[in-house]
């Protein structure tokens, strides 16, 4: 709809009238394109939240849900605008090999985001505290299980997440890299399971921690990203050669081509 309606070229034209500086144009076009798409998808997202409330999975109020959606939009817009600035910079400088140079830039950015997420992004949505703060005995048992597995996980790296403020589901997970690597147990898990069951859940999470699955997942993502970016480069050129003029897109380095990239990524 955005492509056939030539909406992105309209945003591009607005940006070019506002400023001749590319960084300003990107800061106008990218948020407008993403906000338009996300607002169009908002009814579907709201229906998903309605289903979660209807089936007693979520207890989050609509005001809180909308605030979380808004925070997510702000985080995504800032990050996406920065990524687009890098992307279009390398596309202009190397039309044939931009996919490889953008991947080189994506490697440290991905590692930095995985490192940063537990201490900056996750706390935007949930409250976290050391598990030992309210469950010192369970924390001691967890440390004992870890030692039996040949691993020492410091108590300060085991956290409780206040999931019950929004959800009724139970869960636990491992996240972060390096000094931010941690095990997180939802407070719903602590309420609905006894200590032995929680320790069994922890044993599963400890396996991720010991075997480095977060690291392996990042490496697998980066390998797939390299292949995906090359495929995206070929698909973008193929699409613009056939439909670019009809959509008023000047070329791969045109900001109005962003919906084409997003379409192929979605596919």
Residues 6+ apart with CB under 8 A from 214: 114, 174, 175, 176, 177, 181, 208
- pLDDT at position 63 is 96
pLDDT value at position 186? 94
* Side-by-side strand order, sheet with 158-161: 128-130, 158-161, 182-186, 172-175
Cα 191 to Cα 154: distance, rounded to the nearest angstrom: 23
Q: In this predicted model, what pLDDT tens digit does every residue of 166-205 receive, in sequence order?
A: 999 888 888 888 888 888 999 999 999 999 999 888 888 8
Nearest to 49 by CA among 175, 166, 151: 166
pLDDT surpasses 80 at 151: no
Q: Band the pLDDT of 237: cuts 50, 70, 90.
A: very high
| pLDDT on residue 31 | 97
Q: Give pLDDT, residue 242.
A: 95
| 3-state secondary structure (DSSP) of residue 217 | helix
pLDDT band with cut points at 50, 70 and 90 for residue 42: very high
Q: How confident is the model at residue 109 (pLDDT cuts 50, 70, 90)?
A: very high
| pTM, two decimal places | 0.86
pLDDT value of position 250: 93
3-state helix, strand, coil in the chain (%, to 5): 75, 5, 20
**What's the chain's average pLDDT?**
92
**Predicted confidence (pLDDT) at residue 257 exceeds the cutoff of 90:** yes
pLDDT-wise least confident of 121-130, 173-182, 232-241, 253-262: 173-182
Least confident of 24-38, 111-125, 152-166: 152-166
Considering the candidates 156, 160, 165, 205, report the single residue annotated as catalytic: 205
pLDDT in tens, 60-101: 999 999 999 999 999 999 999 999 999 999 999 999 999 999
Q: How many CB atoms lie within 10 A of CB 85?
A: 14
What pLDDT shows up at residue 29?
96
Q: Which of 121, 148, 139 is nearest to 185 (CA)?
A: 139
DSSP string covering 145-198: HHHHTT----GGGEEEE-GGGTB----EEEE-SGGG-EEEEEHHHHHHS-HHHH
pLDDT digits (tens, 9 = 90+) for 205-233: 888 877 888 789 889 999 999 999 999 99
Evaluate if residue 244 carries a pLDDT over 80.
yes
Active site residue 165: no
């Amino acid at each position: 709809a955005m492509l056939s309606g030539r909406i992105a070229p309209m945003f591009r034209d607005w940006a070019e009238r506002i400023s001749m500086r590319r960084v300003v144009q990107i800061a106008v076009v990218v948020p407008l394109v993403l906000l338009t798409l996300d607002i169009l998808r908002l009814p579907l997202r709201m229906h998903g939240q309605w289903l979660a409330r209807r089936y007693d999975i979520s207890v989050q109020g609509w005001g809180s849900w909308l605030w979380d959606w808004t925070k997510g939009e702000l985080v995504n817009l800032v990050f996406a605008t920065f990524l687009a600035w890098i992307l279009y910079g390398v596309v202009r400088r190397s039309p044939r090999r931009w996919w490889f140079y953008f991947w080189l830039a994506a490697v440290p950015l991905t590692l930095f985001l995985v490192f940063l997420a537990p201490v900056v992004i996750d706390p935007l949505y949930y409250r976290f505290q050391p598990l030992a703060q309210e469950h010192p005995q369970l924390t001691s048992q967890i440390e004992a299980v870890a030692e039996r597995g040949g691993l020492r996980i410091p108590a300060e790296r085991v956290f409780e997440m206040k999931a019950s403020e929004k959800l009724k589901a139970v869960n636990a997970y491992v996240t972060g890299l390096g000094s931010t690597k941690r095990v997180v147990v939802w407070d719903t898990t602590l309420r609905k399971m006894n200590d032995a069951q929680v320790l069994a859940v922890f044993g599963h999470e400890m396996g991720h921690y010991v075997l480095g699955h977060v690291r392996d997942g990042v490496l697998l993502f980066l390998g797939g990203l390299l292949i995906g970016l090359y495929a995206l480069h070929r698909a973008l050129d193929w699409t613009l050669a056939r439909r670019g003029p009809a959509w008023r897109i000047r070329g791969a380095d045109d900001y109005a081509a962003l919906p084409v990239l997003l379409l192929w990524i979605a596919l």
